[in-house]
């Protein structure tokens, strides 16, 4: 019996080593997907060594901020940490808590959904995020017991299995080249379409590609849920202020037809947030309502015209609140 147990233990240990090597191989293979860009963003955020303006939020930030323009107006380096709203509000607050340093200025730009119920990550996106960006796993550790159990039962094994399968396929030159070419397609959402600051720039020449006014963008005012979001933001801001960083909140852009339809909800949200946040709010929601021609392919993604208009608003809203002269960001995303 002892011999069986010893042999079984040795067999399991060998399998674990093999599985670990396959997972390591998978994580080291080139990743060009959109979510893989977090690997580059988190490196910039962790390695910056001078006072920096950090902009955080979902894809409204990735698609809707022009960092070089903001950098020029605010006279300090800018890092765009925006990626995907479905990662949840807490994900970005944890990134800010982890990466912001003394002298930094953090501008939170959460999508409206993150202020009305999206504090936690969507399970399916969490799965693909960990697969494409292994560095993201640490920002999914703040789950309550039921969420952690769901993640372990329904997703963790799938993640490991997928990584093992991916790691068993050697990254041949043709396979890597094919992935690279697909990531460069004109309408591709890919890691290769971000600039050195973390802005998504692959849509600059595409204008407006869908009928934005027909898309669903209902904003439901839920005071209790918004208060929870405000409490989370306040807790993060308190930690950052104690560290010597400044924190501001700016709103996600909204198409004019949607704003006009739900104006009372936007007004109520703004009133509740300004009363309960310990963070300065840079502008009113009506200042980020834009014509549908300013949007790219969703109600949150601005095209180049919209991006520049929104960036100038943010720069003007921050004007005079701080002044730090420094050299521009020199690190590249690739």
**What is the per-residue DSSP string for 106-123?**
EEE---HHHHTT--S--H
Annotated domain spans of the chain: 2-318
Residue with tokens 């293979």: 29
Q: What does each C-alpha distance from 8 to 13, 15, 158 come to in angstroms?
A: 9, 11, 24
β-pairing verdict for 289-290 and 254-255? parallel
pTM, two decimals, is 0.83
Tokens standing for residue 45:
């955020």
pLDDT at 127: 74
Residue with more model confidence, 287 or 131 = 287
Report the pLDDT averaged over residues 90-110.
97
3-state secondary structure of 251: coil
22's tokens: 């396959």
Residue 115: its pLDDT value, please?
95
Does residue 300 contact residue 253 with C-beta atoms inside 8 Å? yes
Alpha-carbon torsion 104, 109, 115, 121, what sign? negative
Tell me: pLDDT of 19 over 50: no
The model's confidence at residue 15, banded by pLDDT at 50, 70 and 90, is very low
Task: Give the separation between CA 332 and CA 334, rounded to whole angstroms.
Answer: 6
Q: What value does the mean pLDDT take over residues 129-142?
A: 84
Residue 113 to residue 96: CA distance in whole angstroms: 19
Residues 186-218: pLDDT tens digits? 889 999 999 999 999 999 999 999 999 999 888
HSE-up (13 A, CA, CB side) for residue 265: 17
> Among positive and negative, which fits the CA dihedral 48, 49, 55, 58?
positive
Residue 110 and residue 89: Cα distance in Å, rounded?
7
The CB density around residue 218, as the number of other CB atoms within 10 Å, is: 11
Q: Give pLDDT tens digits for 42-85.
A: 999 999 999 999 999 999 999 999 999 999 999 999 999 999 99
pLDDT given for residue 210 in this prediction: 94
Contact status, residue 140 vs residue 130, Cβ threshold 8 Å: yes
Those residues whose C-beta lies under 8 Å from the C-beta of residue 9, and which sit 6 or more positions away, are: none
**Domain 2-318 belongs to what topology?**
Rossmann fold (3.40.50)
Tell me, rounded to whole angstroms, the distance of Cα 319 from its chain centroid.
25
């Amino acid at each position: 019996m002892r011999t069986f147990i010893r042999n079984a233990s040795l067999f399991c240990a060998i399998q674990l080593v093999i599985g670990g090597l396959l997972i390591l191989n998978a994580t080291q293979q080139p990743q060009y997907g959109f979510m893989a860009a977090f690997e580059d963003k988190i490196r910039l955020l962790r390695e910056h060594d001078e006072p920096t303006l950090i902009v955080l939020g979902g894809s409204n930030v990735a698609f809707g901020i022009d960092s070089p323009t903001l950098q020029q107006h605010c006279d300090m380096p800018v890092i765009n940490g925006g990626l995907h709203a479905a990662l949840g509000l807490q994900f970005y607050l944890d990134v800010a808590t982890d990466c912001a340093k003394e002298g930094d200025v953090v501008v939170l730009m959460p999508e409206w959904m993150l202020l009305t119920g999206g504090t936690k990550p969507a399970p399916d996106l969490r799965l693909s995020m960990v697969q494409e960006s292994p560095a993201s796993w640490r920002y999914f550790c703040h789950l309550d017991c039921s969420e952690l159990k769901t993640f372990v039962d329904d997703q963790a094994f799938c993640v490991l299995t997928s990584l093992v399968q991916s790691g068993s396929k050697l990254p041949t030159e043709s396979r890597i080249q094919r992935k690279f070419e697909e990531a460069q397609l004109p309408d591709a959402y890919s890691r290769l379409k971000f600039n050195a600051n973390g802005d998504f720039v692959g849509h600059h020449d595409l204008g407006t590609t869908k009928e934005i006014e027909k898309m669903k963008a209902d904003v439901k005012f839920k005071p209790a849920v918004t208060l929870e979001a405000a409490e989370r933001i306040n807790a993060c801001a308190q930690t950052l202020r104690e560290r010597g960083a400044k924190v501001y909140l700016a709103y996600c852009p909204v198409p004019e037809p949607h704003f006009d339809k739900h104006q009372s909800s936007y007004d109520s949200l703004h009133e509740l947030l300004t009363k309960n946040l310990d963070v300065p709010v840079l502008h009113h929601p009506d200042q980020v309502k834009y014509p549908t021609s300013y949007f790219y392919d969703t109600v949150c993604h601005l095209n180049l015209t919209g991006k520049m208009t929104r960036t100038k608003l943010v720069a003007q809203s921050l004007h005079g609140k701080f002044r730090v002269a420094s050299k521009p960001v020199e690190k590249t995303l690739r």
